[in-house]
A = this chain, B = another copy of it.
């Protein structure tokens, strides 16, 4: 069992049969660098877990690409908007490197949720963990300065800076590339 498999099933305690049902329903897919995984105006049919690669989610606002999420190995890629509301998502997900992803269709997952109580609680825990992450990022975004957030980013995900171009980091931090340059110059 791969580290990714292990991470997926350790989200919540599962019975043997539930583990097999979940992992058995997943398949590995490969994408080239710069591939668009999700696009706006499409209802996304799959949930993905990143085995290898890096992903970026962004919205197209007034003439800008507004980056609001990065995913690396072990992270989940999921349009909750598209998934819950069964409407086209507002986000675009792009793969910044050649990537390998583990995927499972929403339809299959729904079937598993309605059959196995362990998997229903697994899905609950998954959503709850994602919610905490989003909530923490929201609070950080609103009440810390861009300088503090950049320092945190370096501390907590130092590899990200090396793998992602700074224009995307700037957008993610909610400042212009110029301001990010000034922040970086000031921290030296």
Beta-carbon contacts of A125-147 to B below 8 Å, as 1s and 0s? 10111111011111101110000
Does A88 interact with chain B (Cβ within 8 Å)? no
Residues of A within 8 A of B (CB): 59, 61, 64, 66, 68, 80-81, 83-85, 90, 113-114, 116-117, 120-121, 123-125, 127-132, 134-139, 141-143, 174
Copies, count: 2
Question: CB distance A84 to B139 under 8 Å?
Answer: no
The 4 tightest CB contacts between A and B, nearest first, are: A120-B120, A127-B127, A124-B124, A117-B117
What is the bound-complex CA distance between A5 and B111, given in angstroms?
A: 27
- Chain B residues contacting A83 (CB-CB under 8 Å) are 128
Which residue of B113, B114, B123, B135 is within 8 Å of A80 (Cβ)? Answer: B135
